[in-house]
Amino acid sequence: GAGVSQSPSNKVTEKGKDVELRCDPISGHTALYWYRQRLGQGLEFLIYFQGNSAPDKSGLPSDRFSAERTGESVSTLTIQRTQQEDSAVYLCASTPRQGHYGYTFGSGTRLTVV
**Which positions touch another protein (CB under 8 A)?**
4, 6, 31, 33, 41-43, 45, 47-50, 55-56, 58-59, 91, 93, 98-100, 102-108
Q: Which of 106, 26, 36 is nearest to 74 (CA)?
A: 26
List CB contacts of 49: < 8 A, sequence separation 6 or more. Answer: 31, 32, 33, 67, 69, 75
DSSP 50: E
Rounded to 5°, angle at Cα 4 from 95 and 92: 75
**Nearer to another protein among residue 33 and residue 65 (C-beta):** 33
Smallest gap, in angstroms, from Cβ of residue 59 to another protein?
7
Residue 105, H or E segment:
strand 104-105
CB of 85 to another protein, least distance (A): 18
Give me the least distance between CB of 3 and another protein, in Å please.
9
Q: Please, which residue, 79 or 106, has the CB nearer to another protein?
A: 106
Q: Which is nearer to another protein, 58 or 70 (CB)?
A: 58
d(CA 113, CA 26): 29
- The nearer residue to another protein, 19 or 33, going by C-beta atoms, is 33
